[in-house]
Amino acid sequence: MSEIADPQALPDETAQLEIRNLAYADLPSVLAVERRAFTTPWSMAMFVLELSKPSGICLAAQGADGLRGYLVCSRYAGMWHLMNVAVDPGKRRQGVATALITRLLAQIEGKDKIMLEVRGSNEGAIEMYRGIGFEAVGHRRRYYQDNGEDALVMELVPDPGGARPAS
């Protein structure tokens, strides 16, 4: 299994990021990024529901210029589901998503498996997830409603000792 990306190796732009818990007050900015990032964006109600779950983790990446990205991860029996990772299209390829996921991994302390779905055509995201240590484990046929595209299912399985590099 690959090691988690070293936060010290992230681009300089991410050194100026504040990774913090996502708040209800962030939702207008989140929705703006969501609409720019995805062809089928989540609704306000979907974000409110996820923020209201006490067992979930929702993080924001805040730069001097505003919200650059966020993630939403839900807890299920014995595993985590990384449900939404978004970076403002103008801020992609600067390590924002990697910084968010690295913080998520530090918070969950590598104790449980994390799974996610990603569009099979999203080569940049797949490459990033693989660099963090996720491995492809399957497909979900016609998962995306907007165009019927399949999803690649990826998992990150914890080390047997639960050890992960510190972030």
Domains and CATH numbers, the chain: 7-156 (3.40.630.30)
pTM of the model: 0.84
Asked if residue 162 has pLDDT above 60, the reply is no
Neighbours of 164 (CB within 10 A): 19
Q: How far apart are CA 153 and CA 134, in angstroms?
A: 10
> From residue 41, how far is each of 33, 135, 141 by CA, in Å?
9, 26, 20
pLDDT value, residue 161: 57
Q: Is the dihedral of CA 42, 45, 47, 53 positive or negative?
A: negative
Q: How far apart are CA 144 and CA 36, in angstroms?
A: 17
Residue 6: pLDDT band (50, 70, 90) is very low
Averaged pLDDT for residues 75-92: 92
The two beta strands, 57-63 and 66-76, are antiparallel
Tell me what the pLDDT averaged over the chain comes to.
86
